[in-house]
Amino acid sequence: MKCIFAFSFLPFNVYAMVSTIITFRDPNSDILNKPSAKIGVFDAELKKVARDMEEILLNLADAGLGLAAPQIGISRAIFAIRFGREVKFYCNPVIKDLSSEQEIMEEGCLSFPEIFFKIKRAKKVILVYQDLLGRNKTEKAEGILARAFQHETDHLNGITFDQKAR
Residues that bind Zn ion (CB under 5 A): 109
Query: C-beta of 111: minimal distance to Zn ion in Å?
Result: 5
- Distance of alpha carbon 158 from alpha carbon 92, whole angstroms: 13
Of 72 and 98, nearer to Zn ion (C-beta) is: 72
Q: Is 152 a catalytic residue?
A: yes
Other Cβ atoms less than 10 A from the Cβ of 164: the count is 16
Q: Which of 55, 101, 114, 152 is catalytic?
A: 152
Cβ proximity to Zn ion: between 87 and 109 the closer is: 109
Q: How far is the CB of 41 from Zn ion (least distance, A)?
A: 26
- Please, what is the Cα angle at 92 between 98 and 108, to 5 degrees? 60
Question: Closest approach of Cβ 166 to Zn ion, in Å?
Answer: 17
- Residues in Cβ contact with 112 at an 8 Å cutoff, skipping those fewer than 6 apart: 6, 23, 24, 160, 161, 162
CB nearer Zn ion, residue 50 or residue 147 = 147
3-state SS, residue 18: helix
Distance (Å, whole) CA 32 – CA 29: 6
Query: Which residues have a catalytic role annotated?
Result: 152
